[in-house]
Amino acid sequence: MNATATPIQHLEKAAPPEQPQDVTPGSEQPCAGRFTAQRIAHVDDDPDIRDTVKRILNANGYAVESYQTMNDFMVSLLHSSSPPDLAILDVMVETMDIGLEAYVDIRKRFPQLHMIFMTSLGQEIRPYFTNLSDEWILIVEKPVEPVSLLSIIRSRLGSTAPEARMAASA
């Protein structure tokens, strides 16, 4: 790797991971034959936050793929035949601004992928997004209440609660 390249520019050369860390086996399958769970990727270096978010989202019908590093997520994303419906990204995982670098790369390669930043920095990171995108950047400050997180995710995905989708398809 040359001195000016970022780690993200070289991810395509990496082999895809066997399986995302913390994936619930089979969680991407149709639930009781009624609907396919929306897939959410979550990147955070704190195992307690990854576990908590995964529990909240799984309990509400979402299939969650958890990643400890942005590199793991990016490799998986680049080798996936279908990206997740939403990505929840931490700003500071491996480095101070890897989340921002990943955002730019993801936006170029996967413009349809919805993203949310969940960070302990809160709104302090907003200036870093100046001139990066015309898109409304959603920043959630840690810790976030489960009801608020679910509301934000449903709003971002333009979806109703999984229970409502199941009832509508019955």
Q: What is the pLDDT of residue 129?
A: 64
- The domain that holds 127 is classified in CATH as 3.40.50.2300
Q: What is the pLDDT of residue 8?
A: 46
154 part of a folded domain: yes
Position 158 scores a pLDDT of: 86
Residues 6+ apart with CB under 8 A from 97: 91, 128
* Residue 5 forms part of a structural domain: no
pLDDT at res. 78: 94
**CB of 58 within 8 A of CB of 27?**
yes
Burial class (CB in 10 A: 0-12, 13-18, 19+), 147: exposed
Write down the pLDDT at residue 166.
46
Q: What is the largest CA-CA distance in the chain?
A: 56
Give the model confidence (pLDDT) of 103-119 as tens digits.
889 999 999 999 999 98
In a domain, 23, yes or no: yes
| Whether the model pTM is above 0.85 | no
Residues of the chain with pLDDT under 50: 1-19, 21, 23-34, 164-170
Domain count, the chain: 1
Q: What is the pLDDT of residue 130?
A: 67
Q: Are 116 and 102 in contact (CB under 8 A)?
A: no
In this structure, is residue 135 part of a structural domain? yes
Residue 9 domain flag: no
Give the per-residue pLDDT at 27: 40
Output the pLDDT for position 101.
86
- For the chain, give percent helix, strand, coil, nearest 5: 40, 15, 45
Do the domain assignments include residue 6?
Answer: no
CA distance 153 to 29: 20
pLDDT for the residue 95: 79
Q: What pLDDT, on a 0 to 100 scale, did the predictor assign at position 161?
A: 54
As a three-state string, the secondary structure of 71-99 is HHHHHHHHHCCCCCCEEEECCCCCCCCHH
pLDDT for position 135: 62
Q: Is 158 left (phi over 0), alpha (psi -120 to 50) or beta?
A: left
Q: Residue 109 belongs to what domain range? A: 14-165
Q: How many helices (H) and strands (E) does the chain have?
A: 5, 7
Residue 1 lies in a domain: no
The verdict on residue 4 lying in a domain is no
